[in-house]
Amino acid sequence: MKRRDFVGRMGGWAAGAWLGRLPIRPSAHPPVIPSLLVPMDDAQTDHLKAYGLTYKAIQAGLKAEWLLNYRGGSFLIPDLDALRRDAALNGIRTEPVDSAMTTVRGEIEASNMDAVPLEKAPKVAVYAPPNAAPWDDAVTMALQYAGIPFTKIWDPEVMNGSLKDYDWLHLHHEDFTGQYSKFFLIYSGMSWLAEMVQRNSDTAKRLGFQTVPDLKKAVARSIHSYVGNGGFLFAMCTATETIDLALAAHNVDIAATFADGTPLDPDADAKLDWSQAFAFTGGHIETNPLVASFSDIDGHQVNGGARRQPLGAFKLFNFSAKIDPVPTMLVQNHRQVIPDFYGLTTSFNRNRLKPGVTILAEEEGAPWVKYVHGDLGKGTWTFFGGHDPEDPQHQIGDPATDLSLHPHSPGYRLILNNVLFPAAKKRELKT
């Protein structure tokens, strides 16, 4: 569901095996039934799976509500046996509410809180190569753990126009400059790198591009159009910085010789067209092919030698729930201060952000921010720096994070906020 389609989308029961277990049949006018509150404060026993429970409810065509800023951003779902069973199996705390809801709604009305209807489960696409990379992908893990279905797509699907079939697109560790995360020289000889190079080169050739950087630029432009036409984009780690570099470099070579056979343009910095980018402006390219860093957009420069900055903690902004529901949804959490974590792109320097970008989280006193959001055309994009919220220094080859050991992860909650917020019914914003 695109943003333009929000208004008036109600009901529409989704078919599926899970629905078959529901004790009632869906109809255009569902009967009034009691509700279950899914608290999202410290009382919750599995914060991450709570998103999956809510997703399943709306996927089945049931009506749910997101109670912004109420007990950590709780959810309200129908009190049905199937949902109770699902909650019990997954260790999710739910609280039956009936007459108490009147009091809750009164509190919401009187405070910086709001109740946002959630109506249709977004169709989720994850942009990832078909093979397994030697690093984990936080969003894929979060979706799998929460039980939210998604489809993996890659360059061929993007280039043949399949993006229009999805409401929400996620990018993670991808390098849209086409330089294989600049691991080409550092990790030369490693089998996973050889496979990555081969796969990308073959795909570029098959799709009619001379080089991998050319292909990735075209993919970046397709994603840009997708957002402009109403799609929701969420990017983490390298994807945030490199997609903007690829967009800004539509007419200039910013790829090292190893990637496209030609040296990068010595005047690349001056030729970058930042008007094409989502979030950033004025960045300077990292020209050393041996340094796995792309530009000075990233504040932490984890592979930048002496430029590397230590990790701190980032703080979520507190928005007005009734006036700014979208940023409010994106920062719902039971923690306001969250330990930082590295990625090839960890953070975003403030002086590289375009005017108008909404800062959702920052490290106080630091020159960088962590989590940003903005609109483009009819769609929106959200960028979250860092690789894995529960593995602050994820190394190549490290085992994937086991989220069952981190069911309360506040960092992963931010990812899942992004998955659910496209499900919210659009209302006229007051700003």
Partner 1 sequence: MSRSIRLALGLIVALPALARAQAIGPGFELERSGRYVDAASVYFTTIRSDPTNIPALLGLERTLFVLSRMSELLPLVQNARARQPESPALRSLELRVYAALNEPDSLEAIARRWAASAPQSEAPYREWGLALADRRMWDEARRAFLVGRRALGGDGTLAIELAELEQRVGNWDASATEWGRAVTRLPDVEPNAASQLADAPAPMHDRVARALTAPGASVRARRLASEVLLTWGQPNEAWAAMEPTLAPADTEAPTALRRFVDLAGALTTRDGHRVRGLALARWADMMPGSTGGRARAEAVRELLDGGDKAAARRVLEAHADSNGIAQAALIHLLIADNQLDIAEERLSAPATAITADDRATLRLALARARVGRGELDRAAAALGDDSSVAAIAQRGWIELYRGNLKNAMEAFRLAGPYALDRAAATDRTAMMALLQRIQQESSPDLGAALLTLARGDSVAAIAALRRAAARLPEQGGRLEVLLIAGQVAAQKGGDQELTATALFDEVVRTGGEGAAPPAAELEWARLLVRTGRAAEAIPHLEHLILTYPNSAFVPEARRVLERAKGAIPKS
Interface positions with partner 1 (CB under 8 A): 85, 88-91, 136, 141, 144-145, 147, 185-190, 288, 290-291, 305-306, 396-397, 399-404
Q: Give Cα separations from 323 to 68, 117, 169, 329, 354 (angstroms).
A: 12, 15, 26, 12, 23
Q: Which is nearer to partner 1, 189 or 356 (CB)?
A: 189
Q: Which is nearer to partner 1, 268 or 360 (CB)?
A: 268
**Smallest distance from partner 1 to CB 365, Å:** 12
Would you state the structure tokens that stand for residue 351, as one six-digit string?
């002086």
Inter-residue long-range contacts of 394-399, CB under 8 Å, 24+ positions, other chains counted = 394/135, 394/136, 394/341, 394/342, 394/343, 396/134, 396/135, 396/183, 396/187, 397/134, 397/135, 398/135, 398/136, 399/136
**Smallest distance from partner 1 to CB 187, Å:** 5
**Smallest distance from partner 1 to CB 90, Å:** 7
123 and 166 Cβ atoms separated by less than 8 Å: yes
Q: Give Cα separations from 413 to 72, 321, 333, 396 (angstroms).
A: 11, 18, 7, 24
Q: Which is nearer to partner 1, 147 or 339 (CB)?
A: 147
**Smallest distance from partner 1 to CB 392, Å:** 16
**Smallest distance from partner 1 to CB 403, Å:** 6
Q: Which is nearer to partner 1, 6 or 192 (CB)?
A: 192
**Smallest distance from partner 1 to CB 145, Å:** 5
Q: Which is nearer to partner 1, 90 or 200 (CB)?
A: 90
**Smallest distance from partner 1 to CB 61, Å:** 23
Q: Which is nearer to partner 1, 21 or 250 (CB)?
A: 21
Q: Which is nearer to partner 1, 131 or 188 (CB)?
A: 188
